[in-house]
Amino acid sequence: MLSIILKPVLLLSMPGESEWLLILLVILLFFGGKKIPDLMKGIGRGVREFNDAKQHVKDEIEAGMNEKDVVPPAPQISTTTPVSTTPPPASTNP
């Protein structure tokens, strides 16, 4: 119901067949036949880099979440008697 009201107001409709044809003709006139493949390659590279960056950010967030969930192991308590590491006192007899 809301979309019926908003479409005429905000002009949110997709272009029809004749509009697409006009858009393609204008692109062909601006860039020429030889530049269009280069343009499409550039767009493809840009989309690929964007997806790679998006995946990298997603991996970083997941790694941070997993790092927070890992509980460090508890220190182990030794049951043996500790050995003194201090040297014995020096003799003062001359």
Q: How far, in Å, CA of 88 to CA of 22, rounded?
A: 97
pLDDT at residue 20, as a whole number: 87
pLDDT at residue 34, as a whole number: 83
List the chain residues with pLDDT less than 50.
none
pLDDT at residue 27, as a whole number: 85
pLDDT at residue 22, as a whole number: 92
pLDDT at residue 77, as a whole number: 72
- Residue labelled with tokens 């003194």: 84
Alpha helices in 1-94, H assignment, sequence order: 2-10, 17-69
pLDDT at residue 70, as a whole number: 62
pLDDT tens sequence across 20-34: 899 888 888 888 878
